Chains A and B, each alone.
Chain A
């Protein structure tokens, strides 16, 4: 009897693959999208042309980054129809898959900052300066204000995401410097600093995320053993609390914050199988 109950309460043993399933899928998506862009210049396979700012898929579907277009608009340029439909397509896509799914499933800088986070933990770098959570919103507002005042697409002058991605597809120049700076910032200055506190692109996609359909839910939160693994691995741990440890026991298990990147790392690390991908209407099980 004792042995049986021990067996039941022991965490389910899972292999390396199972413990990193969503991470592997995510990296495949990030690298796959990059590969689609690079297959043109490298192998002459032109399925996806352009870059993350604007692109065309199979010569039919136009895609445009809505934040870049918004800056162009406030800078005083009349929005062209092609760009507008492209931006609306992108918004529609992220309303379905989760706003900041852009951050964890598409953005190439995420690979850089995740690497910095991993190394930071390996090297046991504890010292960290954490800016306020609202910092990225201020930077977003500033980027828009500067766009208005100078008539330029201001954030694109410094945006490491498009710089890295454009660099890989079209030619790097000194963009490595910016990427290295982001890496070092996350490694030595600020834990998860860039993506979780500074980047206004993430803040922007987070607003789309508030409406998003696909969400992570703590549907089996009653099985939670308070080990804290999900908090430690999550780039935005505050989003978990209301879904996992709500004040009301009947509260929704859905992680509804726009800050959640739908990266699925909590699903990977949870030994008690608490989390699931589902819709925003998921119910406790």
Chain B
């Protein structure tokens, strides 16, 4: 082949490579941007027990739904495209159907990739989220001094994760549901059973409840 033709074909080859590589780069950047967006869990969605921290979970969960199938109470869902959760990953809505905290943790046992970690052997050690009394202004016990303790009664970690603490305000005595985060598994029973129209106690995903904007800056 004459030198001209050789260098011409080489030029062509390089040009096509650069073209394809830049197209791949564009696809890659779009994909990367999209993946960043889907890393946070919204306030109303909780992961099943044993779920790795959100960032690790996104690398581990293959979105197969075997945890959904293993749940005897059928309260887990896979996120659908259009929801604020990474598409295909499992979640539950505490207000709707809280976690029943099965002793044998069948959802985690069914997980083929350990996105729901098998290191969690005692479901009472689970950290699906943490309950927070978000509605001090709506809670019957706090705002009205009523004798309501629905959340306290619902809590499976009885007398440890939620206690009713006597408080006095303006000379008025009342009992306040008080969450002890170190004991709370985030099962969502309290949120589910709360009698106010919008739950006054809510379980927040750990990534949200314990999010520190200064730490990640």
* Residues in A lying within 8 Å of B, measured CB to CB: 40, 46, 49-51, 53-56, 62, 64-65, 68-69, 72, 75-80, 82-83, 86, 132, 134-135, 138-139, 141-143, 145-147, 149-158, 162-163, 166-167, 169-175, 177-178
Q: Assess the A156–B80 pair: CB atoms within 8 A.
A: no
User: Quick one: which of B34, B59, B77, B112 contacts A62, CB cutoff 8 A?
Assistant: B112
Q: Assess the A157–B78 pair: CB atoms within 8 A.
A: no
User: Quick one: which of A46, A54, A132, A134 contacts B64, CB cutoff 8 A?
Assistant: A54
Closest to B36 in A: A150
B69: Cβ under 8 A from any A Cβ: yes
CA separation between A54 and B215, bound complex, in Å?
Answer: 36
User: Quick one: which of B32, B36, B77, B81 contacts A174, CB cutoff 8 A?
Assistant: B81
B207: Cβ under 8 A from any A Cβ: no
The 5 closest A-B pairs by CB, nearest first: A173-B80, A54-B64, A75-B59, A174-B82, A138-B24
B154: Cβ under 8 A from any A Cβ: no
Closest to A141 in B: B24
B135: Cβ under 8 A from any A Cβ: no
Closest to A170 in B: B78
User: Quick one: which of B31, B62, B78, B87 contacts A54, CB cutoff 8 A?
Assistant: B62
Chain B residues numbered 2-42 whose CB sits less than 8 Å from any CB in chain A: 16, 20-21, 23-25, 27-28, 31-32, 34-36, 38-39
CB proximity of B22 to chain A, nearest CB, Å: 10
Chain B residues numbered 82-133 whose CB sits less than 8 Å from any CB in chain A: 82-83, 86-88, 110-115
Q: Assess the B81–A163 pair: CB atoms within 8 A.
A: yes
CA separation between A77 and B69, bound complex, in Å?
Answer: 23
CA separation between A171 and B76, bound complex, in Å?
Answer: 12
CB proximity of A22 to chain B, nearest CB, Å: 30
Q: Assess the A142–B20 pair: CB atoms within 8 A.
A: no
CA separation between A174 and B83, bound complex, in Å?
Answer: 9
With A54-B112, A162-B88 as given contacts, are A49 and B69 in contact (CB-CB < 8 Å)? Answer: yes
CA separation between A19 and B20, bound complex, in Å?
Answer: 40
B138: Cβ under 8 A from any A Cβ: no
Closest to A68 in B: B62
Contacts of A51 in B (CB 8 A): 63-65
Interface centre among A56, A86, A142, A154, by most chain B C-beta atoms within 10 angstroms, is A142
Ordered by A's residue number, 25 sampled pairs between the chains whose C-beta atoms are within 8 Å are A40-B69, A49-B66, A50-B64, A54-B113, A56-B66, A72-B62, A75-B59, A80-B114, A82-B112, A142-B25, A142-B31, A149-B32, A152-B35, A152-B59, A154-B32, A155-B31, A156-B88, A169-B65, A170-B65, A170-B68, A170-B77, A170-B78, A173-B87, A174-B81, A178-B81
CB proximity of A52 to chain B, nearest CB, Å: 8
User: Quick one: which of B58, B69, B78 contacts A171, CB cutoff 8 A?
Assistant: B78
Q: Assess the A157–B62 pair: CB atoms within 8 A.
A: no
Q: Assess the B59–A153 pair: CB atoms within 8 A.
A: yes
Q: Mark B33-62, 1 if CB is under 8 A from A, else 0.
A: 011101100000000000000011011111
CB proximity of A116 to chain B, nearest CB, Å: 20
Q: Assess the A174–B88 pair: CB atoms within 8 A.
A: no
CA separation between A170 and B206, bound complex, in Å?
Answer: 26
